[in-house]
Amino acid sequence: MNLDDFSDLIERPDGGVRRDAEERRERLIVPPGALGRLDELGEWLSAAQQAVPVKPIEQPRVVLFAGDHGVAELGVSGRAAGSAHELVRATLDGATPLAVLARRFSVPVRIVDAGLDCDPEMLPESVVRHRVRRGSGRIDIEDAMTAEEAERAVRLGIAIADEEADSGTDLVVLGDLSVGGTTAASTLIAALCGTDASVVTGRGGAGIDDLAWMRKCAAIRDALRRARPVLGDQLELLATVGGADLAAMTGFLLQCAVRRLPVILDGVVSSACALVAQRAAFRAPDWWLAGQVSGEPAQTKALDRMALNPLLDQGVIVGEGSGALLALPLVQAAAALAAELPERAPADTGEDVEKDGDEVGTTGENGDTVDD
């Protein structure tokens, strides 16, 4: 598999439709610019849907890829290594911020186990049946997975994207449930942006103290040494310093762009996968929105590289797709405004006014003008 092949499969959202949407926007009763960025979002959705006026977002879905990362053994996370299954269980039980928001917004949640480090019997079969491998290697000293596993993970993401597109999902909120995932994601971003470990090392969604931050920075530094020699091959890069969940998410993002399915990115993990996908297909970011500012320096670098401007900055660092889901109502509002606001009434044509100083009257039977 060569991810570069996606470059020929992905087209940009329809520019002609976007121009039509912009022209329609100028005719609405609310002056252009009065709705701020909502205007831009509505026009972007029109281009993605190839529809003017834009259609409402009626079948959004949250998709979360789950996995454990061996690098968490170094104490780089606020959670214990191998405990991502607890995040999955809490989400299924409705006891996480993401689950509460999804319930409030009536958005279904799909969890895909790509690389959890737990017995499959601990979770529903619908979650674990896609698993590529159990956990991932310690990326500071070994590969996250084999090349064959990386390809399987990417193909898994492609298959999930096809299933969502075929089922009628019209927008995806993308997130992750992982332990150690921000370390792998930050490594990918540092490698692709050509920067140092200290520039991209954050404190993760669980929060870490200064000593843990130093351990995380050292792990990213060591993983970067292993990542740089394989930068020319995105699949090999994912196998070396990514993980099954990150590889699956990368395949998912690429195939969503192929299927013209818009995606809202959440935090640093989904942003890292998006950056890998952009390296493979430069048009792909045109199908994504950045949901929020996560506070992770690596996410900021990735979004800058992709020229994606986050919709929200509410200081939400919990991850797990929560920030991206908070942005969903904003996107839905933009679609509703673009579709439902009426156009201005046509101006008076002026057919019954004086022309060139002559009065307009009624023509009689002999062709003479008869004054009213």
For 272-308, what is each residue's pLDDT tens digit? 999 999 999 999 999 999 999 988 999 999 999 999 9
Residue 85 falls within a domain, yes or no?
yes
Task: Give yes or no for residue 351 having a pLDDT over 80.
Answer: no
How many structural domains are present in the chain? 1
Cβ 54 vs Cβ 61: under 8 Å? no
Residue 268 falls within a domain, yes or no?
yes
Cβ 168 vs Cβ 59: under 8 Å? yes
The residue annotated as part of the active site, out of 11, 236, 320, 354, is 320
What is the C-alpha separation between 336 and 172, in angstroms, rounded?
A: 18
pLDDT in tens, 156-169: 999 999 999 999 99
What is the C-alpha separation between 359 and 372, in angstroms, rounded?
A: 10
Residue 299 falls within a domain, yes or no?
yes
Mean pLDDT score of the chain, rounded to an integer? 91
Can you give the pLDDT at residue 209? Answer: 84
Residue 86 falls within a domain, yes or no?
yes
**Weakest-pLDDT range from 108-112, 340-344, 364-368:** 364-368
Q: What are the residues whose beta carbons fall under 8 Å from the beta carbon of 78, sequence distance 6 or more?
A: 204, 205, 206, 207, 208, 212
Domain residues for 210? Answer: 3-13+59-327
- Mean pLDDT of all residues in 120-135: 96
**For residue 138, what is the domain's CATH number?**
3.40.50.10210
Provide the strand spans (E) within the chain. 60-68, 109-115, 171-179, 263-265, 288-290, 362-363, 369-370
Residue 43 falls within a domain, yes or no?
no
Question: How buried is residue 305: exposed, middle or buried, by Cβ count under 10 Å (0-12/13-18/19+)?
Answer: middle
Task: Give yes or no for residue 183 having a pLDDT over 50.
Answer: yes
Residue 207 falls within a domain, yes or no?
yes
pTM: 0.90
Can you give the pLDDT at residue 360? Answer: 43
Residue 239 falls within a domain, yes or no?
yes
Please give the single-letter amino acid code of residue 247.
Answer: A
Residue 355 falls within a domain, yes or no?
no
Instruction: Give catalytic status of residue 296 as yes or no.
Output: no
